[in-house]
A = this chain, B = another copy of it.
Amino acid sequence: MSTSMSSALLTDHYELTMLQAALRGGVAFRKATFEVFARHLPDGRRYGVVAGTGRLLDALRDFRFGERELAFLRENRVVDEPTLEFLSGYRFSGDVYGYREGECYFPGSPILTVEGTFAEAVLLETVILSILNHDCAIASAASRMVHAAGSRPIIEMGSRRTHEMAAVAAARAAYLSGFGSSSNLMAGHLYGVPTAGTAAHAFTLLHDSEKAAFQAQIDSLGAGTTLLVDTYDVAEAVRTGVELAGPDLGAVRLDSGDLAEVAYAVRAQLDELGAHKTRIIVTSDLDEYTIAALAAAPVDGYGVGTSLVTGSGAPTAALVYKLVARQDEEGVMRPVAKRSVGKPSRGGRKYAFRRLDGSGTAEAELVTVSGDRPEGVRPEGDRPGGIRPLQAELVRGGEIVGAEPLEAARERHRRSVAELPATARQLARGYEAIPTVFDE
């Protein structure tokens, strides 16, 4: 954290030894195409959400081997001098295409395509997968929670349950998928995610009485603040809170017990005290299922921590980065694929489209290895119906051309998930919401 850092060493050792061997063997500069895709979604999930592309473009920009990185590689004899020489001038000069952030994806969707020389493209595997596997996992879980919550806002508050930098990326991914805000200040600083929060139990315990704590909080943060009311006795705390703040008390937060039961009791008490507008926020190990179970309860907002940052049972997205085509000894691009048992891959550069019916509902993910667009393709933005291309240009000749505001990704996700059949938004375990159709 304390020093400026290149992303170049966020890389597996073997990417560099492969580079060394390829340089020596004279094949390092063969043109190559790598694709990122998931062989399957997490068990029972109906769609995935693309997230992390913006962070990935930042990491690509910072992927340089400076003096410190080269010194480390030399001292530890990771690679030989010709390879270090290559790395010292490394700068990705190829092209990257991909699904835009917020877009839904399915098994086999080619969510990222990297085209360049083998040498320049192979080096990016680790950092690309790290970013996408994490951020897609979080965004995919977050999207389900947002739909479970309906119109009620959710605050992301899981920073303390995951790695300190993963926390920042998780807050970004959750916001992209529709969370209203995050507790994480760095996510506000780096990505403009709205941040929120008021007080923890420690604040109440710090004071000689709960009343003194509430008075101090109201004095400083105003009557519109959210008071945490379960440190001692909930009913007494609610009474004290309304007594001190009046009916303009912004909200009370419940963080323990049977949340539905307590919410009903607290709503009745608030109404009786005339605090009809005081909202009830619930937290405490919520996930999409417990959020859904509270749909009928008088709850005005949710705070979600652990289950969000751990992907609600699927902390990684199982995305892989596979070589699908490369030049042969005559310089001709050839599709390639391994035949490993249970892990087959499809050779050739893929093109992807989403087919929509006349009402604008998605019917299929079309994946083709021919560059020809299927019939009926319409320009992006022209809705509904027809066939929508899914890949956009992100990097052209090493220059980043696909950066966009996080708000654009958030809006895209809203549209992308709305376009899926209604079954996609069911929480129950099921199959992919639409089939992936390979046209080979």
Question: What residues of B have a CB within 8 angstroms of the CB of A315 in the complex?
Answer: 162, 310, 315
Q: Report Cα–Cα, A232/B198, bound state, in Å.
A: 58
Partner-binding segment picked from A88-96, A180-188, A243-251, A399-407: A180-188
Q: Report Cα–Cα, A73/B30, bound state, in Å.
A: 49
Among the listed B4, B12, B133, B159, which residue makes an inter-chain contact with A184, where contact means beta carbons less than 8 Å apart?
B12
By beta carbon, the residue of chain B nearest A26 is B216
Among the listed B73, B130, B161, B316, which residue makes an inter-chain contact with A129, where contact means beta carbons less than 8 Å apart?
B161
Copies of the protein in its oligomer: 2
The reply to whether B130 and A159 form a contact with Cβ atoms under 8 Å apart is yes
The reply to whether A221 and B185 form a contact with Cβ atoms under 8 Å apart is no
The reply to whether B339 and A231 form a contact with Cβ atoms under 8 Å apart is yes
CB distance from A334 to the nearest CB of B (A): 9
Is A6 part of the contact surface with B, judged by Cβ < 8 Å? yes
Contact with B along A287-325 (1 / 0, CB 8 A): 000000000000000000010011000011010011100
By beta carbon, the residue of chain B nearest A3 is B4
Is A418 part of the contact surface with B, judged by Cβ < 8 Å? no
The reply to whether A166 and B159 form a contact with Cβ atoms under 8 Å apart is no
By beta carbon, the residue of chain B nearest A329 is B208
The reply to whether B166 and A203 form a contact with Cβ atoms under 8 Å apart is no
Question: What residues of B have a CB within 8 angstroms of the CB of A391 in the complex?
Answer: none
Binding site for B on A (CB under 8 A): 1-7, 9-18, 20-22, 24-25, 27, 30, 32, 34, 58-59, 61-62, 68-69, 72-73, 76, 78, 80, 118, 122, 125-127, 129-131, 133-134, 157, 159-169, 183-186, 188-189, 195-208, 212, 215-217, 219-221, 230-233, 255-257, 306, 309-310, 315-316, 318, 321-323, 326, 328-329, 336-343
